[in-house]
Amino acid sequence: MRDVVAGLWLIVTLELRQRVRGVAWYVLLGIFMLLVAAVTILLWLSTTAWETGGGGVFSTVILFVLLLGTLVSPALSGNAINGDRDIGTLATTQVTLISTGQLVLGKFVAAWITALAFLAAAVPFLLFAVALGEVSLGTIAVSVLVLAVELGVIAAVGVGLSGIVTRPLFSIVVTYLIVAALSVGTLISFALLGTATRSEATTSPASSECPDPTTTREVPRFDYYWWVLAANPYVVLADASPGVFDAAGNPQDLFGWIAVSVRQAQAAPDLQTESPWCDWTGEYDVTAEEQPPTPRETYDGAVPSWFVGLGIHLALAVGALLWAWRRTITPARRLPTGRRVA
């Protein structure tokens, strides 16, 4: 076991030394910190965070770090294996005592640590948001942990595709496409599917004395497809964080608003309703309309979906790494056309 860990850590250290050898890495990290600093300062100046607390600033910075991570991590991990194959150093490693599993896992761990460096760079700004107050320990712990896992998933997908796909550029592009499909594609699919699926809703008068006619209209059925949003990494991060609400039942951070919006999509529309303004006397009463539930009531009355999405992401990451291991293992029984041996 000690030899396995030693070989794994050897690959990790070699990868990390190679990544931080040039100036470009530090320039990229500096640009990242400047962007996070700009977002934090703008949020602090444009909101009343110094009065209401830093929940909104903290949640926005966490989501912004995830956004930048999805933009940077594929480029850093998408050529981990096939990049070495192209320059002829992969075969040199494969003829040593390093196993294929150690090679793939080592490159994954190095890519994950690299992604976590961006999270570490955002810590001062997260501490600033926490210092503003109204940020619970549960929100801090869960959001940071889930963010770290999501960054690891992206790194695993990138490393896995670099072992599956022959060309480094193509594997990087495919990694970006998968990240885009999870981040943006799920939103587009949810909107299109919900809009395309419709049911007929009927509104009838509450009494025969009411002059209002019975009306029908078509309503979209987003409740059929709310599960599509479960695979969105931003939804996973927001829905996993504990909901924090004020006395009126409104969320106090961006996590809460996203979670409420997603859980609200689970509610099926009422297809049989009565006109709320006309009573049994035939008179109109504008105060008779039923009040909608508060965001807190919507949040508590729906089912969380973050664990489903997180499970999908972990399965995708493990599957990519296993497939990369299978394609990288030596001796290879069959090589794809154009693949370099050494």
pLDDT tens-digit series, residues 63-97: 999 999 999 999 989 888 888 788 777 777 777 77
The predicted structure's pLDDT at residue 271: 77
113 shares its domain with 30: yes
Q: Do residues 90 and 207 both lie within one domain?
A: no
Quick check: is 60 in a domain? yes
Q: Are residues 269 and 324 in the same domain?
A: no
**Domain shared by 139 and 8, yes or no:** yes
* CB atoms closer than 10 angstroms to residue 277: 16
Calpha distance 51→57 (Å, rounded): 12
In this structure, is residue 340 part of a structural domain?
Answer: no
Q: Encoding tokens for residue 161?
A: 């595709």
User: Where is average pLDDT lowest: 29-33, 265-269, 328-332?
Assistant: 328-332
Identify the CA nearest to 175 among candidates 37, 82, 269: 82
What integer is the mean pLDDT of 149-157? 96
Q: Tens digit of pLDDT for each residue in 244-259? A: 888 888 888 899 999 9
Sign of CA dihedral 236, 227, 184, 73: positive
pLDDT band at 190 (very low <50, low <70, confident <90, very high): very high
The answer on 201 and 177 residing in a single domain is: no
Domains held by the chain: number: 2
Q: What is the 3-state secondary structure (H, E, C) of 295-306?
A: HHHHHHCCCCCH
256: tokens are 């809460």
Does 241 map to a domain? yes
Domain that holds residue 55: 2-183+314-328
Residue 341 pLDDT greater than 60, yes or no: no
Report d(CA 257, CA 24) in Å as an integer.
37
Sign (positive or negative) of CA dihedral 179, 185, 187, 193: negative
CB-CB contact of 256 with 242 (8 Å) = no
**Residue 305 placed within a domain:** no
Cα distance between residue 328 and residue 342, in whole Å: 12
User: Is there a single domain that holds both residue 55 and residue 199?
Assistant: no
Q: Is 90 exceeded by the pLDDT of residue 98?
A: no
Does some domain include residue 341?
no
pLDDT for position 60: 92
